[in-house]
Amino acid sequence: MDYFAQQLINGLVLGSIYGLIAIGYTMVYGIVGMINFAHGDIFMIGGFIALITFLILVSFGLTAIPLILLIVLLVSMAITALYGWTVERIAYRPLRHSFRLAPMLSAIGMSFVLTNFSQVAQGARVKPVPPIITGGHTLHEGPDGFVVQLSNIQIIVVITTVVLLALFTWLVSSTRLGRDMRACEQDQTMASLLGVDVDRTISMTFVIGAALAAVAGMMYLLYYGLVDFFMGFVAGIKAFTAAVLGGIGSLPGAMLGGLLIGLIETLWSAYFSVEYKDVAAFSILIVVLIFLPTGLLGRPEVEKV
Amino acid sequence: MSAPPAVQTSRAPGAAFILKKALISALVALVLFSLMIGVRTDAGPDGQLTYWTRFGDLAAMVATVFGGSIVLELLRQWWGPVGTIRVVPPAVQSTLSLAGRLVAPVLLVFTFLVPVLFYNERYILDLGILVLTYVMLGWGLNVVVGLAGLLDLGYVAFYAVGAYSYALLATNFGLSFWVCLPLAGILAAFWGVLLGFPVLRLRGDYLAIVTLAFGEIIRLVIINWQSLTGGPNGVTGIPRPTLFGIPLTPGDDGLAAMLGIEFSPTHRVVFLFYLILALALLTNWVTIRLRRLPIGRAWEALREDEVACRALGINTTTTKLTAFATGAMFGGFAGAFFATRQGFISPESFTFHESALVLAIVVLGGMGSQLGVALAALAMIGGFELFRGLEQYRMLVFGMAMVLLMIWRPRGLIGHRAPTVFLKTNQAISSDLVKEGHG
């Protein structure tokens, strides 16, 4: 039971990271209707920028951990958001009204560009950092000596995710920008007739998605203590799987899907085999889609003739 | 047709505008590259991560973006606003259409002659084999994506199934290439149907993610099922193909000895070249024939409108499954060929990157155009080889080329295609009118 509780905690933490990335996928899909294949690499760039900022701050003699974390978070969000904006501007905007597969391939190309850009710029080797946040709390000590641990970093990941989600939900539901986004999602032509700047709204969607991916990248760096240029691919696929599992286009769905994928992966590794954890996640995706073709919380697609 | 002069002058921005735009681009580049290029991190000798600055490289990159932005803007002005219709003189038009009709036969004859012309250039022959492998994969995937309109991001799975089928059957049971080739095709087709079943109800992007997941599942199983597949080490010692039982070896029973000519290792390369050419042409021929059969027309109808398809009584289940199976079968053939050519296969060769490459070839070829796919394969693989000297920048350039090509020709190289069925006259249709299918 204790073992299960520990795995549950680990799974939820991993799921939070996936969920943060998945929101970027689902938002872009909802508004532009394309799979942003470069989003996983945006997450990777976010991790790298967090790492570099962290190194610079430490070498300047900054020791207050909360201050460092805050600066790293803001810098990484800002620069990564600019990456998201640039990618949209270069690779997707010219193809806005093109046929469906063109932006997707352009996105795959952009993903190759970002992966190899960071490989060329920062080298192919894995970059490890010493644990930045240490310590934790013992929740429960079982009679057999098994200890359920909740580390500080896990608390930070979950709290950051919850805060960001709340902020983000508020942004979408009650600000001007959120209203524009929802309008563009429903009908871009109509929205532009009513005075919504569609181009700007779509750009902002990419910017917000990239900023959330940067947070996920930073959390990944803190939690696992390493980044490498190839981590965007696997994390991107998992997050996209999460978005589809939850019903693509639905924001709560993306978070739910992320948590589920995180839990499935962790529990499968704990009880069955580590090697097949990804196979398990993908298989469950396929099984769910057989019975619910639009995901868990997705709206059924209305077919217009 | 050019716009009236007054409009043009008002549309042509001045030097100040161009400079401002370039400055903004340079500023964005400065922020983007400030940490990624300006600072380099690496683990020091003691394993501790250190960093050093590279402001020279950063300045060079920003300057490149600034200059590039000015050049781009000038080029754009010279080219005129987007959507300008250019009038092509009739003489040029007729020459172009003649050239268009001649491309396919000329290309085919040239391909047949490649081993004769470049007999002593092993590199060109190897490159030719590689290009033809991708032409075949492209034509195979074209059945699924171009004809049936089903977006498949996991095509490499069938390539892997074909390759491993041949490799394992040949190394474990000693079966010959010619026995294994149909078996590899059948097994791949079987997996195609297996993938097809769960995705029958899915549309569009749900289909894309499931096929992508399927491709990853196959790869992960190959990596982890070590007792069968050898895991990451792959399968070694895969037998080379024989000319219907006659090996291409220097021995007494080899082809060279039988024909009484001196043995040369090039014989095998030439044989492989014609083998993949034959396989690719078989794919092309079968596809062209299938397009004229009811099943091929059902595929194209499915791509255009699935609801209408069902209303007309077309069984969408069998239509989709046959499309998956046919495409997968050709992927399996290509995989078996890949295994026999390499003599060694490992999961490294079957990553998502391959699926993306083949899909890019199909889309760049113009979704459904056989000639377009061949040209796109030649351009992508050949172009990729051109940058071999750049080593680590190769993938970077490849990705950029993919983005630029998509922006330049979103509809692919061959923007027109001949209709399969026509009423009175055979007119080329612009691919803008051809739907891409919703899965």
Q: What is the largest CA-CA distance in chain B?
A: 82
C-beta atoms of A101 and B42 within 8 A: no
C-beta atoms of A278 and B216 within 8 A: yes
Nearest-CA distance B216 → chain A (Å): 8
Judge whether residue B9 has pLDDT over 80: no
Determine the average pLDDT of the residues in B97-103. 76
Candidates A79, A111, A279; nearest CB to B35: A79
Judge whether residue B392 has pLDDT over 80: no
Q: Is pLDDT larger for residue B413 or for residue A246?
A: A246
Question: Where do the domains of chain A lie?
Answer: 17-233
Judge whether residue A216 has pLDDT over 90: yes
* Per-residue pLDDT tens digits for B204-241: 777 888 898 899 999 999 999 888 888 888 888 888 87
Rounded Cα distance between B199 and A287, Å, is: 10
C-beta atoms of A56 and B400 within 8 A: no
pLDDT the model gives residue B415: 58
pLDDT the model gives residue B410: 78
Which of B 173-202 lie inside 8 A of A, CB atoms? 198-199, 201-202
Q: Which residue of A has its CA nearest to B410?
A: A102
C-beta atoms of B39 and A128 within 8 A: no
Helix (H, G, I), strand (E, B) or coil at B247: strand
Reading the block at residue B410, the tokens are: 């979103």
Confidence of residue A282 (pLDDT cuts 50, 70, 90): confident
Determine the average pLDDT of the residues in B335-362. 90
Q: Is pLDDT larger for residue B91 or for residue A171?
A: A171
pLDDT the model gives residue B321: 92
pLDDT the model gives residue B280: 94
Reading the block at residue B202, the tokens are: 């899915």
Determine the average pLDDT of the residues in A8-27. 91
Which of B 216-275 lie inside 8 A of A, CB atoms? 216-217, 220-221, 223-224
Q: ipTM score of the complex?
A: 0.85
Lowest-pLDDT range, A102-106, A298-302, B384-388? A298-302
Judge whether residue B420 has pLDDT over 80: no
Determine the average pLDDT of the residues in A205-232. 91
C-beta atoms of B36 and A305 within 8 A: no
Rounded Cα distance between A1 and A148, Å, is: 10
pLDDT the model gives residue A11: 92
Phi, psi of A141, rounded to the nearest 5 degrees: -115, 115
* Per-residue pLDDT tens digits for B26-79: 999 988 898 888 888 887 777 777 888 888 888 998 999 999 988 988 888 887
List CB contacts (< 8 A) between B402 and chain A.
105-106, 108-109, 112
Reading the block at residue B348, the tokens are: 């490294």
* Per-residue pLDDT tens digits for A232-266: 888 888 898 898 888 888 888 899 999 999 999 99
Confidence of residue B331 (pLDDT cuts 50, 70, 90): very high
Q: Is the dihedral of CA B69, B75, B78, B84 positive or negative?
A: negative
C-beta atoms of A49 and B36 within 8 A: yes
Instruction: Work out the burial of residue A76: count CB atoms within 10 Å of its CB; fewer than 13 is exposed, 13-18 middle, 19 or more buried.
Output: buried
pLDDT the model gives residue B81: 62
Reading the block at residue B59, the tokens are: 């300045």
